[in-house]
Every structure is written in structure tokens, then in C-alpha cells.
Structure 1
Amino acid sequence: MTTSLNQPAADPQTVPVGGRGLMSVQVRDRLIAHFRENGTKPGDQILSEPEIVELFKVGRSTAREAVKLLEHEGLVEVRPGLGRFLTSLATATVDRPVTRFESVTELLKSLGYDAQTLVLSVEEHQPDAVEREALQLAEGETVVRLVRLRSEGEEPLIFSIDTISRSRIPGPIKYVDWSGSVSTFLRDQGYPLSFSAARLQAVNMPADLKQRYSLEGHDPWFLITETAVTASGEPVLYAQDYHRGDTFSFNVLRR
């Protein structure tokens, strides 16, 4: 999976977790934006490491790692004795790239859906083993589990189960408007999401969920299970989003 200048998204398989590693990802994304804003074309030489250090006020090692990420993704090539140059891959685009990190709210808006959000339940729970590991919770910490359904008219589109550490949510959970974007809510609490590590698979929805929420007859679903992380490396959201398999598709640029 790759990133283009037009779709600068972090690849969850290659993003390192850690201070300097995360900084290099941010500089990588800022370099991509810089190329786009300055009209850098395939074949043009990119900034040198000292120029990156000066422009973004980062250390030499961070600049070097950011450039290595661009090389790994095929956006930049090294020409021995000459320097680093932008490749033609940098201009490639795909519709709905699977590497794009976006909230369900953003996804539906971008696809033109006038979707309604039904909050099916929101409760404080003890985390199960998967949630505890995904959110790196200490013994005794609880979570808020939010179950919602996005639909257009009578047609269900996305069924979501979002799990958030209770410590990230101030005050009583009953006073929170859970019909909006969870990503926006977390950002407003000081936890802006940067990227996610995701698993994608086609599944039949568990029978108990289908029966409880009257979702029979829509198998298979496209399930995205992901842990969303802030730029500082904090895992703050564990999400299971069931997309209608006959409605949604995602694409990838292959090389």
C-alpha cells in the first residue's frame, strides 16, 4: 500500500510507534504537502536534508528518517552522485484509497450520503482482553463502549462499535452528544487522532448483533477493526466498523 501526493495518509503497517519515529512521519507528511504546494513535479530534485532541517526546525536524524519513508513508499528515488528526486508515483491517485485514515462521518459525507446516526447504546464497562490490549489499559481501568448505526432512510450503511478509555472522557457520559464524530470529540478533549493500525476483512455479522439490532439479510459486511493513535503515540480509540458489503469498496495503488 502506498501514499501519493494527492492522498497523504500514513500506512499503518509502516508507521513506527515512538517519539522520533512519529516525528519523522509528521515531517514526511509535511514534505508531501510542501511538494504539492510548490508544484514539485516528477523528476524534480527534492530538498536536501540540511534544507529539511532548516525548513521544519527538526533534527538531522528526523529529516533523514522522513526522507527514508518517502523512498520506502516509492515517492522519492536516489540517483547516486546526484541526489534524491520525485518519482512519477507521487502523482498517482486512487479513488477511496484503503490507506486513507478518516472518520466514518467524513467517509459518508465524502460519498454524498445524507446519513442519520442512531445511538443504540453507550455504557461504561470493564474492557475485554482485546480492548485492554488495544488501548494499553492498566488493571482496573474502565471503558465506554458506544454502539451506533448510520443509515440513509431505512437502509443501514455502517454499524459501529467504538471503545474509548473512560479516562479520556470528562464528566458524565450521559451529557455527551454521541451522534457526532468520535474523532472530533477526541480532538476537542486534547487527543487528536493521527493514524490507525487496521485489519480489514469480509465477515458475516455475529448472529447476536444481527438479531438485537434487526440487521439480518445484509451479509457479508466489510469489517474494519482499528486502533486509532495520537501523534504522541497514545492509543485512544478501538473501533469495529461494519460496512455494508454491497455498498462500500476501497482501493489500493499497487506497484
Structure 2
Amino acid sequence: MMTTGGIDRLSATPMYDQLRQLIIDHIEQDGLHPGDPLPGEHRLCEQYGISRTVVRQALAQLEHEGLVERVKGKGTFVARPRTSESLVHTLVGLYDEVASRGGHVHSDILRHETIEADAEVAAALEVEEGSPIVVLTRLRHVDGDAWSLSTTWMPEAVGAVTLGEDLHETSLYRLLEEHGIVATSGVRSAEATVATHEQAQLLGVSAGSALLRLRSVSRDASGTPIEFFIAHHRGDRSRFEFQLGPEASRGSLVRIP
């Protein structure tokens, strides 16, 4: 049952923001947990005498903040808290990032084979176009939930050590380190994007849902690229967190013309 508070039509605070706060209060006061259902749009309209537009604005804001999750055909639910990740500003991988906080990562291997490098991959790995490389595509699950879809390309000499290995429960970086291949520097970038139909099906979201796209090139101590990956993370499951300081690693805002 929603809180007994109401909408003040004389307030300077927009009605959708008032409803947003009422829903937050309802979650906190009733001790609701992730996955618990919340009142639907029709019920909220009736209870507070407001339009569906106002209700949708409030729910959209809450969804953007990661507090609720709307599932088409099922309703609105308390969302699971987003997990902070430091993958953008460090060379740590998802496996070790999650393991450091006691979580578990499982990977479904969708592709793992030797192919010829196209122009984009060749440029990133600094090899000739058409050169043999190893591609690895994984659907990553964190504590049982679909989390990210990533594709990693490696020069043949690097990727060869991964072929035939079971990577379902293993860190790729740890496997490479066992063979003396260690990432010591790199460049990573993150940008907002939306899920394609194929990505949505794999990640368990709706097409057009917000995703975080992570792009990375890692190098060994000699400066030679050892991997290039592009990963799409569910926007409702994760957020990237930066540690800042006066001497922090420099970043830049890239203006796309």
C-alpha cells in the first residue's frame, strides 16, 4: 500500500517529482526489497488523481536513477542496486573487479576462434589488415544476472594461448598472465549507447534500453597491443566510478564533429 501522503497541486514542486518522492518513501517505509512489485500506472493515477503522463514522468525518472525497473507486460518493480565498477580508469577486468567485492562472474562463450582482422581491429592491434587474430565473445553474468556482452580481439601470438582453454569461470587476464603476457598500460573510453535487438535479447533488456559501451586497447611493457575489446554493459545494473585526486590519471573530453 502506498504512503498516505498526497499530491499538493499548489506546490511549486512539479507533480511528477512529488509522486517520485512518494514512491521512494513507500519503498523505504514499507521495507521493500529488490524485485518487489510497485503499484501500476493505472492504480497510481486513481489513487492520486493525476494523469498517466505525470505517472510516467515519475517512473521514468526513478528508472533513470536506478531505483525502479519497468518490465513490459509485467509491471514496475524495486530495482536491484547498481554496482560500482572501476573498469574505466584501471586495467582490471570484470572478473577481478567483481571478485574483489565477493561476487561471482560466469561467462557464456559465444565465439572463440581465429579469424582475419578487419580494418578497425587491425588498426587497434597495430597489425596488417587480414592478419590472423583470435576473437573471443562472451556474455558475462554477475551473480547470476546477465551483465555485459563483450568481444575481445587478440594478436594471434597472444590469443593462441587461450584457444582450447575453459573460460567460463576464468579471468582472461589471469590466463594471459600465466603465460607471461601482462597488460601494463592502455586506453579505455566509455560512452552511452542503446541496445540493438540482438544485444537486448542476450542481455535480457528491451531493444533501445540504455547501455554503457566500454572500448579498450591494452599494451604490454614493450608498448605492443595485446588485446582490443568492446563491451556493452547494462545501464540498469552497473555504473562506472572514478577515484579523483590532484595527480589522478589524465582524461579528456572528446568532441565528435
TM bin, normalised by shorter chain, reads 0.5 to 0.7
Give the Cα–Cα distance (whole angstroms) in 2 for the partners of residues 208 and 148 of structure 1: 14
Residue in 1 that maps onto 2:210: 220
Residue in 1 that maps onto 2:95: 105
Over 3 Å counting, the alpha-carbon distance change for 1:217 and 1:139 in structure 2 is: closer
Residue in 2 that maps onto 1:117: 107
C-alpha distance after superposition, 1:12-63 (max 9, x if no partner): xxxxxxxxxxxxxxxxxxxxxxxxxxxxxxxxxxxxxxxxxxxxxxxxxxxx
Query: What code does the residue aligned with 2:136 have?
Result: L
More helix by share: 1
> Does the CA contact (< 8 Å) of 1:168 and 1:189 recur in 2?
no
Q: Which has the higher contact order (CA 8 A, sep 6+)?
A: 1
Residue in 1 that maps onto 2:71: none
> Does the CA contact (< 8 Å) of 2:137 and 2:150 recur in 1?
yes
The correspondence of residues 141-160 of structure 1 with structure 2, limited to 5 A, is 141-152=131-142, 155-160=145-150
The correspondence of residues 15-164 of structure 1 with structure 2, limited to 5 A, is 97=86, 98-152=88-142, 155-164=145-154
Give the Cα–Cα distance (whole angstroms) in 2 for the partners of residues 111 and 224 of structure 1: 21
Structure 1's unaligned 5+ residue stretches are: 1-94
Larger gyration radius, structure 1 or structure 2: 2
Q: Which of 226, 232, 235 is the equivalent residue of 1:236? A: 226
Structure 2's unaligned 5+ residue stretches are: 1-83, 247-257
Identity of aligned residues (%): 21
Give the Cα–Cα distance (whole angstroms) in 1 for the partners of residues 158 and 211 of structure 2: 30
Give the Cα–Cα distance (whole angstroms) in 1 for the partners of residues 162 and 174 of structure 2: 18
Shift of 1:150: 1.7
Query: What code does the residue aligned with 2:211 have?
Result: W
> Does the CA contact (< 8 Å) of 2:91 and 2:183 recur in 1?
no
> Does the CA contact (< 8 Å) of 2:119 and 2:129 recur in 1?
no
The correspondence of residues 164-175 of structure 1 with structure 2, limited to 5 A, is 164-170=154-160, 173=163, 175=164
TM-score with structure 1 setting the length: 0.55
Shift of 1:172: 8.5
TM-score with structure 2 setting the length: 0.55
Q: Which of 187, 194, 197 is the equivalent residue of 1:207? A: 197
> Does the CA contact (< 8 Å) of 2:155 and 2:227 recur in 1?
yes
Over 3 Å counting, the alpha-carbon distance change for 1:236 and 1:172 in structure 2 is: closer
Secondary structure at the aligned position of 1:249 is classed as strand
Shift of 1:129: 1.2
Give the Cα–Cα distance (whole angstroms) in 1 for the partners of residues 132 and 240 of structure 2: 34
Over 3 Å counting, the alpha-carbon distance change for 1:251 and 1:154 in structure 2 is: closer
Query: What code does the residue aligned with 2:167 have?
Result: W
How many residue pairs align between the two structures?
159
Residue in 2 that maps onto 1:177: 166
Secondary structure at the aligned position of 2:227 is classed as strand
Residue in 1 that maps onto 2:186: 196
Query: What code does the residue aligned with 2:154 have?
Result: I
Give the Cα–Cα distance (whole angstroms) in 2 for the partners of residues 101 and 149 of structure 1: 20
Shift of 1:153: 5.7
Residue in 2 that maps onto 1:3: none
> Does the CA contact (< 8 Å) of 1:169 and 1:189 recur in 2?
no
